[in-house]
């Protein structure tokens, strides 16, 4: 009797689910298409990680990844003992840390400044202009950098010389001393306005009555920002911080270490522009050493995963908020 009742109770449930699915079939179509793309382009290619432990060669060998002979950890050992290992890792870490230090607080401060602007038309104009560079490719950004910073036709160098601030044009694009500053500065210019949208959305969710009550109590603008705006943004800041730390080796918020290092790097500034991503790209495609390049990228991916879980645990312990 109990089994018959349970069977009968299942049919109304299926009918309800079917009716709901039919009503929301368009939404389900978008969801399943997104999951299919995620599976095809993100999860299935992960089987290629096996290449890092194999003697795979697309040029000389006819065997596939799964049938190639095992190499064990030989490629990992080769990269760690490479004579440029310390320099490449140093460049990657320093460039990534500089981007976190400057690109993470920049959109927060910019969002607060925009929120404090009283002229609505001016506020919309500045916001629109600030996030437009996000849609410009890094190839175009590098082209603009050449136009402004070149020693021959660069506007910046011409102004520095004319105003007496420099005796001769500075080698912004070829000197190793300027690469990190150039990379960080262009990253802030390109992505600050785009990420400020997220923090502006967090600010818009704060109850306006809190500002009114604080103003009645005599709190100034800076006091309202410190005690109301920033605490109201705390959840969003923590989530973005975790994502930033997790992708720190790729460039953090801007995620452009490879593009900048590859496009702005040259033989003159190679001592500071060569990073893990560009090194893996060069040895993987130029030299055809796909297993070696896969091993290098796998090391970086493992470090990124550890950073994500570590930053999430630290944020959860000290603030009570976390990503998962």
What pLDDT, in 10s, does the model give residues 252-293? 777 778 999 999 988 899 999 999 999 999 888 778 888 899
What residues contact 165, with CB distance under 8 A and at least 6 apart? 159
**pLDDT of 120:** 84
Percent of the chain whose predicted confidence (pLDDT) is above 70: 92
Share of the chain above pLDDT 90, in %: 25
Residue 257 makes CB contacts below 8 A (sequence gap 6+) with 92, 95, 96, 99, 183, 249, 250, 251, 275, 277
pLDDT band, residue 318 (cuts 50/70/90): low
164-173: long-range pairs with CB below 8 Å, 24+: 171/268, 172/145, 173/145, 173/146, 173/149, 173/264, 173/266, 173/269
Higher-confidence residue of 110 and 42: namely 110
What per-residue confidence (pLDDT) applies to 272?
92
For the ranges 35-39, 63-67, 318-322, which has the lowest average pLDDT? 318-322
Cβ-Cβ contacts under 8 Å for 274 (sequence gap 6 or more): 84, 87, 88, 91, 261, 265
Q: State the Cα–Cα distance between residues 91 and 164, nearest whole angstrom.
A: 33
| Cβ neighbours, 10 Å, residue 107 | 24
203: pLDDT strictly greater than 50: yes
Each residue of 180-191: b (16+ CB within 10 Å) or e? Answer: bebbbebbbebb
Output the pTM of the full model: 0.80
Mean pLDDT estimate for the chain: 85
pLDDT digits (tens, 9 = 90+) for 139-189: 999 999 888 998 888 888 888 888 888 888 888 888 999 999 999 999 999
pLDDT confidence bin for 7, thresholds 50/70/90: very low
Helix (H, G, I), strand (E, B) or coil at 1: coil
- CA 278/CA 92 separation, integer angstroms: 10
Whether the predicted pLDDT of 235 surpasses 70: yes
> What confidence score (pLDDT) does residue 308 get?
78
Which of residues 215 and 314 earns the better pLDDT score? 215
Q: Which pairs with CB-CB distance under 8 Å and at least 24 residues apart come from 119-126? A: none
The tens digit of pLDDT for each residue in 71-124 reads 888 999 999 999 889 999 899 889 988 988 888 899 999 999 998 888 888 888
């Amino acid at each position: 009797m109990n089994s018959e009742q349970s069977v009968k109770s299942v049919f109304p449930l299926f009918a309800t689910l079917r009716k709901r699915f039919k009503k929301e079939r368009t939404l389900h179509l978008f969801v399943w298409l997104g999951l299919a793309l995620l599976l095809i382009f993100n999860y299935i290619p992960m089987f290629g990680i096996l290449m890092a432990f194999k003697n795979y060669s697309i040029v000389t060998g006819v065997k596939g990844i799964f049938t190639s002979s095992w190499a064990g950890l030989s490629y990992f050992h080769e990269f760690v003992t490479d004579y440029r290992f310390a320099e490449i890792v140093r460049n990657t870490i320093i460039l990534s840390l500089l981007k976190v230090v400057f690109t993470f607080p920049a959109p927060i401060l910019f969002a607060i400044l925009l929120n404090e602007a009283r002229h609505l038309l001016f506020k919309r104009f500045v916001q629109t202009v600030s996030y437009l560079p996000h849609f410009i490719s890094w190839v175009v950004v590098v082209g603009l950098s050449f136009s402004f910073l070149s020693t021959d036709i660069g506007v910046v160098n011409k102004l520095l010389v004319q105003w007496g601030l420099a005796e001769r044009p500075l080698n912004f694009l070829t000197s190793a001393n300027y690469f990190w500053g150039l990379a960080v500065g262009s990253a802030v210019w390109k992505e600050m306005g785009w990420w400020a949208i997220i923090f502006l959305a967090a600010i818009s969710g704060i109850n306006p009555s809190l500002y009114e009550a604080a103003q009645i109590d005599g709190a100034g603008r800076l006091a309202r920002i410190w005690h109301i705006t920033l605490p109201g943004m705390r959840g969003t800041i923590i989530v973005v911080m975790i994502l930033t730390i997790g992708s720190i080796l790729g460039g953090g918020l801007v995620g452009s270490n490879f593009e900048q290092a590859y496009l702005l790097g040259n033989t003159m500034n190679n001592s500071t522009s060569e990073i893990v991503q560009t090194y893996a790209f060069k040895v993987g495609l130029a030299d055809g050493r796909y297993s070696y390049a896969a091993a290098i990228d796998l090391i970086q991916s493992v470090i990124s995963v550890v950073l994500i879980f570590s930053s999430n645990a630290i944020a959860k312990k000290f603030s009570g908020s976390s990503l998962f």
